[in-house]
Each structure stands twice: as C-alpha cells, then as structure tokens.
Amino acid sequence: MQCLSVRKRGSTDPCTARAVLGHSLCGRHAKSKQPVLWADANTKPTSAIVKCQGRIRGWLLRRRLAMSGPGVLSRKNLSNDEDLVTCVEKERQHPFDYFSFTENGKIWWFDFDTIWKWCERSHQPINPYTKVPIAVDALKRLHAGWGYRLRHRITTTPEETNVYPDRLVNRWNVICRIFMNYGFDELHPNMFLKMTKLDYLKMFGLLSDDIRIVFRDGDMMGDRIHRYCIRAQHLVHSVSTPQYPLFCTSSLLMMLMGPRDPYILCFTILSALYRC
C-alpha cells in the first residue's frame, strides 16, 4: 500500500514510498509529529464550498425556527410551563414541534399539533388560556408551518378527526381563515358546506380557466394549481361516495399553502366559489 502522506510539507504531491506494514504511512512520515495527509492537502480548495453549504443550511434552519415563534431556543420567559394537551414540559419540547405567539407582552407556547387542532375547530381561533382572538400574523405563521411540513415531508401533518362532518367543517374553517387573514370579508364555513358535486366541478372549472389568465404560461405556481384543479375534477367524477368534498377541500388547502403570499390566489379561488 502506498503512503497516504504528501511528499513534503507545503506540497500537494503524494508520497511514492510504500507504507509500513500495518500502518498507513511510510517510515519517514510515520516519525513526523504532524504528518499532512494527501487527501487533506487536496481538499482545502473545496473549503469555500463547504462554508457556503454551511451558511445555506444555517439560513434554512433559522427560517424554519422562525416559524416556531418567540422562545423557541430560550424557554425562560414563557407563560405556561407545559403543553395544554400533551403535558410535555417546555424544556423538553422539540424546536420543530414548538409553536408560540406573543399576546399583551406574554409568550404562550404549544405543541404544533395541539394548537393546529385547536385552531381548526373555529374560523375565529382564540387563545385557549386567555380567550383572546389569536393575531393574524400568528395564524399566518401557523399555516406556513403546516404547509412547510406538507411540502418537505419532514414531519407529518396533524392527524384529522375520523368523523366525516367534523373533518369537513374543520377544513373549511382553515380555508375561510386563510381568506380572512388576507383582507377578505368575514366568511363562515356554513356558506360552503352544502356545495354539491356539480358546484365543485363548476368551481374547479372556473378556477382552472382563471388561473390561465392570472398566471403566465410556464409559471410553476400556475401550472401546479392547474394540475390540482384537473386532479380534483377527476376525483369528483370518479368517486361515487359522498366524501368527494374531502378531496376538493384537500386540493384547496394544498393550493393555498403553497405560495408565500397567496393574496392573488385567495381572490381567484374566492371568485370561483362565489360564481359557482
């Protein structure tokens, strides 16, 4: 086996001597106090790439933690010591499963699944501790966290109830809340719960046509939403059970959770809903 060291200090040429039996270096380099391996000497030019990768990973991590809210890394000033449902202590809560918001100078934190299931029960979510409506910016961050989990499949999204009517109402609660977060009038899920199969087909047909006008040809976001519309129409046609609204609301949620600023998309979807 050839010696793994460089020929001499400051050189990048490999040593041509054979390694000592049972050792990776030759006799001369084995006696050296700080031998320089040829692999290390030739990987130094890539250190800039490694640093660049490290900075990108750090930026992505900070962006991910920003969705968790204040106190994600320092848990000293939190108002509650444990989660409302899981009873996990604040020091033991994983940062990626942590969610918090500030209310009147106090920080309230929850397990992500806990706060998501709590908020989806109402189209006007309130803080379970103080009964004060949760701020719009916190709800936007909560929806962004759900969309991040869905897109990257890093962690599973919160499980939904097995009761069909409740599941449908919860989904419409979230959809209506997204509309309201971006400045549209107060909406109630009851406005959309009685939509028929024909209504859904007409709505996705109108939305598919509008998307072609709003987004340019070749736009990735427009193409993705258009595929969701076609897929939803196909599922509504093929499903014989009365659970077709679940497929449609699932498609709407995945559309709305995609863009960072879904204002234009909210306007387009809401326009199609009112016209159907």
Instruction: List, for residues 167-209, the tens digit of each pLDDT value.
Output: 999 999 999 999 999 988 888 899 899 898 899 999 999 998 8
Q: Do 21 and 112 share a domain, yes or no?
A: no
pLDDT for 44 beyond 60: no
Q: Do 82 and 51 share a domain, yes or no?
A: no
Q: Do 88 and 140 share a domain, yes or no?
A: yes
Q: Tokens in use for 53?
A: 């990768």
User: Looking at 66, 95, 114, which one is the last position of a domain?
Assistant: 66
Considering the domain boundaries, does residue 159 fall inside one? no
Q: Do 133 and 44 share a domain, yes or no?
A: no
Considering the domain boundaries, does residue 175 fall inside one? yes
Q: What distance in Å separates the CA atoms of residue 239 and residue 32, rounded to the nearest whole number?
A: 75
Considering the domain boundaries, does residue 22 fall inside one? yes
Considering the domain boundaries, does residue 208 fall inside one? yes
Considering the domain boundaries, does residue 197 fall inside one? yes
Instruction: Could you list the beta-strand ranges (E) of 56-202.
Output: 98-103, 106-111
Considering the domain boundaries, does residue 244 fall inside one? yes
User: Looking at 45, 66, 87, which one is the last position of a domain?
Assistant: 66
Q: Which pLDDT does position 17 carry in this prediction?
A: 85
Domain count, the chain: 3
- Residue 66, number of CB atoms within 10 A of its CB: 13
Considering the domain boundaries, does residue 253 fall inside one? yes
Q: Do 200 and 269 share a domain, yes or no?
A: yes
Q: Do 202 and 112 share a domain, yes or no?
A: no
Q: Do 57 and 123 share a domain, yes or no?
A: no
Q: Do 33 and 89 share a domain, yes or no?
A: no
Q: Tokens in use for 212?
A: 């072609």
Least confident stretch, 41-55, 110-124, 155-169 = 41-55
Considering the domain boundaries, does residue 11 fall inside one? yes
Q: Do 43 and 132 share a domain, yes or no?
A: no
User: Looking at 35, 66, 97, which one is the last position of a domain?
Assistant: 66
Q: Do 186 and 245 share a domain, yes or no?
A: yes
pLDDT for 92 beyond 80: yes
Q: Which pLDDT does position 161 carry in this prediction?
A: 86
At 110, give phi and psi (nearest 5°): -150, 160
Domain that residue 19 falls in: 1-66
Query: Which pLDDT band, with edges at 50, 70 and 90, does 127 fall under?
Result: very high
Are 111 and 85 within 8 A, CB to CB? yes
Q: Do 147 and 99 share a domain, yes or no?
A: yes
Q: Do 83 and 58 share a domain, yes or no?
A: no
Q: Tokens in use for 107?
A: 């920080």
